Structure 1
Amino acid sequence: MSRILPALLAPVLFALFAATIAAPASAYWEYGHETVATIGYRNAKPETRIAIDRILHHAQLLETPTCPARTIEQASVWADCIKTLGPRFSYTSNWHYQNVDVCKPFDLKSACRDGNCVSAQIERDLKLLKDKTLPMRERVQALAFLVHFMGDLHQPLHAGDRGDLGGNKVTAAYGAYAPERLNLHAIWDGYLAERSISTPPSLVRRYSPEEKAAIQAGSVEDWSRESWQVAHDATYATALGGDACGPVPARARLDQATIEKLVPTARLEIERGGLRLARLLDEALG
């Protein structure tokens, strides 16, 4: 930017731009997962919260000192943090998503062969967390995975794709921001997520029984289908000029008007993830 703008003008424009664009370090990768976890925790039953705290008190059993899980917020990003530990947890890499083609009829079974997908792992972790006969280390790990994967399931590009690694291969621009490596997945993981979560009113609150009932209904497969539909209707359609299954341009563009229209959708996904997490936590621990 500084190569084409006058030297005195560039710093001013950069400061204004930085104030409106989220930094990756505090985006969905942490901010989104932590918000889903906090909503879930606050909307769980009191006895569930006590059980969560009791289990996470044993987080040292995970033996991952560089990836703590002592609080629900720390636990929400533990599954991503352990990716830095090399082969020790490499077998978990496929558990964070499910590649269900948005341009074909919804088919979760094909995408979840052998349980290697996010929805299958959510159901597995729920069973493990319910089983009080298991060693505490196993239940701590199941809790951390469950909290994280409920966030992943409600990021639409972890639930649907077009053979493009959930939008990772779709080069995209976010408003005026268009660095060479920015892609559609990063926008929904980070920039749009932070914009949506930080837009008032706060998503972190106690929801009414009526609000909970409307969102918490259904099964993990129902939620998978819903998130997959969001990937089709909102994520891909808006990025590809209205046709989610149309040709992919050299660079997809989300202008400011489109971003503003997508904020309510992204906020709803965070709410869904948090309140449904609360339901599953209550089922397992309440």
Structure 2
Amino acid sequence: MLIRIFIILLAFAAASPAAAYWEYGHETVAEIAYANVKPATRVAIRRLLAQQALLETPECPAGTIEQASVWADCIKPLKAADGSSRFGYAYSWHYQNVDICRDFDLTPACKDGNCVSAQIEKQAAIVKNRRANPRERVMALAFLIHFVGDLHQPLHAGDKGDKGGNDAKMDYGIYAPPRLNLHSIWDGLLAERAISTPPSLVRRYSAADRARLGAGDVTDWSRESWRVAHAAYDAATGGRACAPFPARGALDEATIARLVPVARAEVEKGGIRLAKLLDRALG
């Protein structure tokens, strides 16, 4: 009976791993940022998001920084009156498929600015522009908050021709549903465990920690996340990241435990770096 109860609870807990992380993960990145921006920036964020009605997406609210952090995912299925995708143009803005088995190079992955790092810079510039159209500024703020989170999920920053690990079928410890893959593990199960591990990541960081964690620019952060993506494939293949992926891989408990602090660090850095960008744009 206890085993059956455990299996049922586990199924509920991981029924939607892709959603589990990047609701929890994006919201946590946003909360860290909000706790670490300047007071004037916090006021400016609230004032901009108070204009969420301009977005005309009542199905996808963005009135708080937590809501705004998942807005860019929420709007993906929204349709225009003619049945076309309202926001289809932004699908490729959530990731950049930089090959982990070659030298780091953003150029092929960011053609015409259609990648996450290029959009972080573009949306930050719109937020900073006080003369920009108000609707565009609110939208840019929501995009910016979300995309910084995306960049710090390593499978959004590097892959090996497998759609960011979506084609890499994986077991997560004893949990092995057919559709589970490397991407969804980092999106959901691993990240949820990492964020939930105490102490809380949401706090006011010291000036020294903010300087250390927020160092560099978007290209530096892209390269760093790409390296973590390589480590993610290494962990999934027993140190053979660039070898052909097995028909189905597995992360054992010892490997998962080693990856928890890596995943925590990505969320932490994402929050502090988002705070840095928000202060520059709105502080």
Q: Answer yes or no: same fold by TM over 0.5.
A: yes
Note if contact 2:126-2:140 (Cα within 8 Å) is conserved in structure 1. yes
Question: How far did 1:243 drift?
Answer: 1.4
The CA distance in 2 between the partners of 1:268 and 1:71, in whole Å, is 24
Question: How far did 1:249 drift?
Answer: 0.9
Q: What is the TM-score normalised by the length of structure 1? A: 0.94
CA distances 1:14-58 after superposition (whole Å, capped 9, x unpaired): 256469868637621200000000101110000000000000000
The CA distance in 2 between the partners of 1:179 and 1:157, in whole Å, is 20
The CA distance in 1 between the partners of 2:262 and 2:243, in whole Å, is 22
Find the counterpart in structure 2 of residue 264 from structure 1: 261
Note if contact 1:23-1:191 (Cα within 8 Å) is conserved in structure 2. no
Find the counterpart in structure 1 of residue 144 from structure 2: 146
Find the counterpart in structure 2 of residue 4 from structure 1: none
Please tell me whether residue 204 in structure 1 is matched to residue 183 in structure 2.
Answer: no
Question: How far did 1:145 drift?
Answer: 0.1
Question: How far did 1:241 drift?
Answer: 1.1
Evaluate the alpha carbon distance shift between residue 26 and residue 103 of structure 1 in structure 2; reply closer, same or farther with a 3 A threshold: closer
Find the counterpart in structure 2 of residue 90 from structure 1: 88
Note if contact 1:123-1:220 (Cα within 8 Å) is conserved in structure 2. yes
Secondary structure of the residue aligned to 1:108 is coil
The CA distance in 1 between the partners of 2:98 and 2:57, in whole Å, is 32
Displacement over 6 Å in runs of 4+:
none
The CA distance in 1 between the partners of 2:12 and 2:184, in whole Å, is 19
The CA distance in 1 between the partners of 2:2 and 2:145, in whole Å, is 45
Question: How far did 1:112 drift?
Answer: 0.3
The CA distance in 1 between the partners of 2:267 and 2:2, in whole Å, is 38
- Aligned pairs for 1:62-73 (under 5 A) are 62-73=55-66
Find the counterpart in structure 2 of residue 14 from structure 1: 7
Note if contact 2:52-2:63 (Cα within 8 Å) is conserved in structure 1. yes
The CA distance in 2 between the partners of 1:28 and 1:19, in whole Å, is 14
Please tell me whether residue 251 in structure 1 is matched to residue 244 in structure 2.
Answer: no
Evaluate the alpha carbon distance shift between residue 20 and residue 56 of structure 1 in structure 2; reply closer, same or farther with a 3 A threshold: closer
CA distances 1:62-84 after superposition (whole Å, capped 9, x unpaired): 00000000000000000000002
Find the counterpart in structure 2 of residue 171 from structure 1: 169
Secondary structure of the residue aligned to 2:238 is coil
Find the counterpart in structure 2 of residue 187 from structure 1: 185
Find the counterpart in structure 2 of residue 284 from structure 1: 281
Find the counterpart in structure 1 of residue 82 from structure 2: none
Please give the root-mean-square deviation of Cα atoms over the aligned residues, in Å. 1.5
Count of equivalent residues: 278
Q: What is the TM-score normalised by the length of structure 2? A: 0.95
The CA distance in 2 between the partners of 1:16 and 1:254, in whole Å, is 20
Pick one of 99, 114, 117 that aligns with 1:116. 114
Flag structure 1 segments of 5+ consecutive residues without an equivalent: 1-7
Note if contact 1:22-1:195 (Cα within 8 Å) is conserved in structure 2. no
Flag structure 2 segments of 5+ consecutive residues without an equivalent: 80-84
Evaluate the alpha carbon distance shift between residue 228 and residue 188 of structure 1 in structure 2; reply closer, same or farther with a 3 A threshold: same
Find the counterpart in structure 2 of residue 216 from structure 1: 214
